Amino acid sequence: MERLPLRSLVAASAAVLVCAAAAPGPAQADSATCQTAISVQLQKFKKLSLKAHVKCLRLENIGKITGCTTDCCPDATAQLKIQTARDNATTAIAAACSLADAASLEFPGNCSFEAAASGVEAGCAALPVTTPEQFAQCLECWKGAEVAEFVALLFASHADEFCNGLDETSPVCSDLDCTTPLPVQHNLGDTGENDCQVGIAKAGVKYLLKREKVLEKCALAGGTQAACIVDPTVSVQLDRAADAKDALIKRKCGNRVPMASPPFCCVTGTGQDCTVVTTRTDCTNIMGTVTEGKTCDPMMLKCSPVPGPNKPVTWWEVCPESDTCTTALATLDDLITCVDTSADTIVNEILCLQFRRNAGADWPCPTDVP
């Protein structure tokens, strides 16, 4: 199945915005109803988008996307699910929000939520906001960029191809801060390493969605970020979500450690006969077969398993969401902490875009915007 590039979907959505006919919001719309609709509908949009991305990348890793071997996601199936979720959110938000409601909630009269010179964020910032539908699609554009960034962080072995670049020029993702060394970009196959990466992704997605939902509920009740974080009921729910995330990653990954370029063996003969090469590309260039989780013994020229217990998982060696890019990730606990802090930062960014009251002071944006 031929991939439909996500940047094409972004461009198509922008074109729809420009051509949309102006239509006022319903007369009964009010700011409280509008704020609730924004939270509920964008939560649905993010959930369906994240699930579609995770499913596609899981299938790509094990070579089960028909007619595609690289740069496969999101495929046509995922694109359709994401666009349907986007359309449903647009309809529901536009039905609940007039532009006057948006203004009373202190949303700007444009889509320029933050300065952006290039990439997907610049595209979002340039979108018109002259109808309730365009207002909804503006929010969806920013949320989609944040969602894509988190997917790239979780699926480290496909980050570059998924985002079509990882800096601020990416046409798909909000930029990642720290990408050196870049994890080797490749399919993990039907392996324990793939099970680990999928476990990281599912755990991270569940945690992000749960954290956002809990904090949104508190915000809709009038709470500020400072008050909600220390609320006893909220704290218990957030702790449970974090514990569930940690447990799932540990169950799927065991004692694996994050490594940007895990060892491999280049099989070039019968059985386990191999040739010592430097990169996976070098192996395929000599018509070899890359076998993950093994190394080529330089004396015997035979593939042998990587000794345990701390086997690698292709992942970041420096957390991509960091204002210093200096903290190395050496253990599974380090990896879990990175998922945790990155999800927290992205949730804070999402909430600061959704709750604008008190000139943004109630839900301030992170100082290091992802």
163 burial type by CB count under 10 A (0-12 exposed, 13-18 middle, 19+ buried) = buried
pLDDT at 78: 96
Angle at the Cα of 179 (from 177 to 184), degrees rounded to 5?
155
The answer to whether 184 and 176 have CB atoms below 8 angstroms apart is no
pLDDT of residue 114: 85
Burial pattern 105-128, b for ≥16 Cβ within 10 A else e, equals bebeeebbbeebeebbbebbbebe
Can you give the C-alpha Rg of the chain in angstroms? 22
One-letter amino acid at 145 equals A
pLDDT, tens digit, 9 for 90 and up, residues 220-246? 999 999 999 999 999 999 999 999 999
CB atoms within 10 A of CB 164: 17
Q: Measured between alpha carbons, how far apart are the two ends of the chain, in Å?
A: 32
pTM of the model: 0.87
Which is it for strands 294-296 and 303-305: parallel, antiparallel or unpaired? antiparallel
* Phi and psi torsions of 288, nearest 5°: -85, 170
Distance CA 79, CA 140 (A): 15
Distance CA 14, CA 126 (A): 9
Q: What is d(CA 256, CA 45) in angstroms, rounded to the nearest whole number?
A: 33
Q: Which residues of the chain have pLDDT under 70?
A: 1-29, 368-370
In three-state form (DSSP H/G/I as H, E/B as E, the rest C), the secondary structure along 212-264 is HHHHHHHHHCCCCHHHHHHCHHHHHHHHHHHHHHHHHHHHHHCCCEEECCCCE
Instruction: Name the amino acid, one letter, at 270.
Output: T
Structural tokens at position 320: 């991509």
Q: Is 2 left (phi over 0), alpha (psi -120 to 50) or beta?
A: beta
For residue 320, is the peptide bond before it cis, meaning its omega torsion is within 30 degrees of 0? Answer: no
Domain regions of the chain by residue span: 6-257+315-360, 263-305
In angstroms, the CA 370 to CA 368 distance is 6
pLDDT at position 309 is 78
- State residue 368's pLDDT score: 56
Dist. CA 319–CA 52, nearest whole Å: 24
pLDDT value for 54? 97
